[in-house]
Structure 1
Amino acid sequence: MHLNNNVTEFILLGLTQDPLKKKFVFAIFLVFYLGTLVGNLLIITTIKTSRTLESSPMYFFLFYLSLSDTCFSTSIAPRMIVDALLKTATISFSECIIQVFSLHYFGCLEIFILIIMAADRYVAICKPLHYTTIMNHRVCSILVAVAWVGSCVHSLAQIFLALSLPFCGPNVIDHYLCDLQPLLKLACADTHMVNLLLVSNSGAICTVSFVILMFSYVIILHSLRNHSAEGRRKALSTCVSHIIVVIMFFVPCIFIYTRPATTLSMDKMITVFYTIGTPLFNPLIYTLRNVEVKNAMKKLWSKNLISDDKK
């Protein structure tokens, strides 16, 4: 492991070097990040304060999806926002490694939770009579625990790959975050093997998970033929929102992680889509298309208004 590098810090070029555009980046991504925090924390609070929602496996998983979204966005957005105000944005080697870990940890956690949510919908729609028995609280907790452990294993593999790279200069990363692809370009060694491992790790996780999810939704949608019109409409509404989230998250991920270590001009904008966009849109997709969540939010809001009036 090449822990002794000549490079102690990296310079992040960000989305742009134009001073005027940097101010625009600061303003727009600050709004995006605050929107992500408000949306996801609202879902977390609503689920935790509603007995009906908290006891349902679907919302138990949605709670963890919102939690991983909040952490995923927080591992990237605050530094990106602050860096937009600086003339030269630098990140130390250890901070860079921590960002690689957190980016992959919470990104992978999101992938696993989306798979669990698809499995939950499959059981609910295809085996409704056995749903409460199969998806009991213990099973749900074990599934989430496996997702946390699996994400940790994946992230440690990324860290091992990053630490195996020797850096002796240059130290300029043409990106707004630390990830293995931009780091591979700076390594002063043959990175062919590391890139192969990266594609077989991150690339495989993204692609295989996407195929599993799409296949599971095809089965779910196919089984809806036997349901009543009302049951079909409700199940379809839930599944469509899940499919939108899956496509928004996985398509950019697959584009970034399943190809050789060549950087394209569009890479930064595509990365923005799944690192900043998905955590922002997830709460909107899940709340706007979900009557139960909207009703629980209204109850929470009216409870707070009543308690404020009493004061």
Structure 2
Amino acid sequence: MSEMDFAAGTVWRGRTDSNETGDTRRLFNVVRTEGSAREPGAPVLLGFCCDAGVLRNQGRAGAAGGPREIRRALAGVPAHGLAAFHDAGDVACNDGDLEAAQQALAQAVAVELGLGAFPLVLGGGHEIAWGTWQGLRAHLDARGDQGRVLVINLDAHLDLRTGRPGSSGTPFDQIAQACQERGQRFEYACLGVSRLGNTAALFAHADVLGVHYVEDVAMQERHLDARLAELQALMDKVDHVYLTIDLDVLPAAVMPAVSAPAAYGVPLPVVEAIVMLVRASGKLRVADLAEFNPLYDRDGCGARAAARLAYRLMA
């Protein structure tokens, strides 16, 4: 069963520097939770407490606890120019019914988009993507908007598995199938994919689908200018962007708290630069962070890296 849970507000606490001069606000000072007045256009956090898709994909359980721990890490981040954002609670998958949870997430995302908000969804396994995309698609359909949608995935894995039922390894094949059924273009860029983390069959399927992918070995800091130029060219051709970040794209030393830590990975400065480019495009409609698993974190390092990216997406 899926349900909305608003208990997450209890994590919004942190250090108070009331004896210092100047603006000492942190994110726990500017968050708005259930019942608070809405700030027009402010970012909105949604949690997706689910790892049913990870388990179906033979991964390590624990990502269902990710949203709470990312919020906890966010709470103490200095607010700087972020005046307000909202926490709309969690969609929880409590009984393994992944499809119901994804549908509930889709509905929540569509509602927030309809209110003019920018939803940032915190996962949870990468099955989050099928829910988030359906929410964006429902919102655009309700408006009669047939504009082109680019899905940008920062990920060590293509997540184009064709087996069903769906899992954390299938969301972009599910999106491709839905686009085909609707007669719409499937525009998907996967950046940071590991040659040693994906079978030859997955790469062949990506080629058939016309996926734009860049391997991790070409996503290092020395490649950044070229990658940003390529990504900008892709965004110039579309009307809307959905950005999804599987945190296992980061090196294991930076992000140990995932189901499949990366032996090589893409440096955090590269990922952050891409996030900031996409955010500045004016075309980003929704984003999510996937696969954070606090059971495998070390000294909160992974949570802080995830929180840093979340802040960059909101501020």
TM class by shorter chain equals under 0.3
The structure whose residues are more often strand, as a share, is: 2
Flag the structure with more relative contact order, 1 or 2, with Cα contacts below 8 A and sequence separation at least 6.
Answer: 1
Give 1 or 2 for the bigger CA radius of gyration: 1
* TM-score where L is the length of structure 2: 0.24
Per residue, is there more helix in 1 or in 2? 1
